[in-house]
Amino acid sequence: MSRTAMNPAKAALTKTLRREAGRWLKTAREAAGLTQAELAEKTGLRYYTFVSQVENGLGRVPIEAQAIWAESLGLDPGQFARTLLRYYEPELHRLLFDGAADEADPALAGRAAQA
């Protein structure tokens, strides 16, 4: 089964979201007081340039490495993964979590019931 080409608008959105994820990760790294090299060492990466690529939106944190990245940054692994999912897979994030926000806010739940 062949994959169809991504439409240009979706490709642009993906690129933008990856850059935003990178900025978020850079902010988290700096808040943790780590250099890219230190984060690479803590997460078991051979080269710090991978951290640079992720922070510049050219790569993404692999799913199997998200827990160690979160712990290295002093963040909750579940929240870390949820945040990255919002950037990397926004439609899946919407499907999984948008209803959860409604449950937490009775006013939103009421509006959803009226729709």
pLDDT of residue 106: 46
- The model's pTM is 0.79
Phi-psi category of residue 33: left, alpha or beta, with phi > 0 → left and psi -120 to 50 → alpha: left
Looking at every residue in the chain, the average pLDDT score rounds to 87
In a domain? residue 39: yes
Q: How confident is the model over 54-106, as pLDDT tens digits?
A: 999 999 999 999 999 999 999 999 999 999 999 999 999 999 998 765 444 44
Spatial distance between the Cα atoms of 26 and 31, rounded to a whole number of angstroms: 8
In a domain? residue 2: no
In a domain? residue 3: no
Mean pLDDT score, 4-14: 86
Q: At what angle do helices 8-31 and 77-88 cross, to 10 degrees?
A: 150
Greater confidence (115 vs 33) lies with 33
pLDDT higher than 70, residue 113: no
Number of domains in the chain: 1
Domain range for residue 82? Answer: 9-114
In a domain? residue 29: yes
Are 57 and 15 in contact, with CB atoms under 8 Å apart? yes
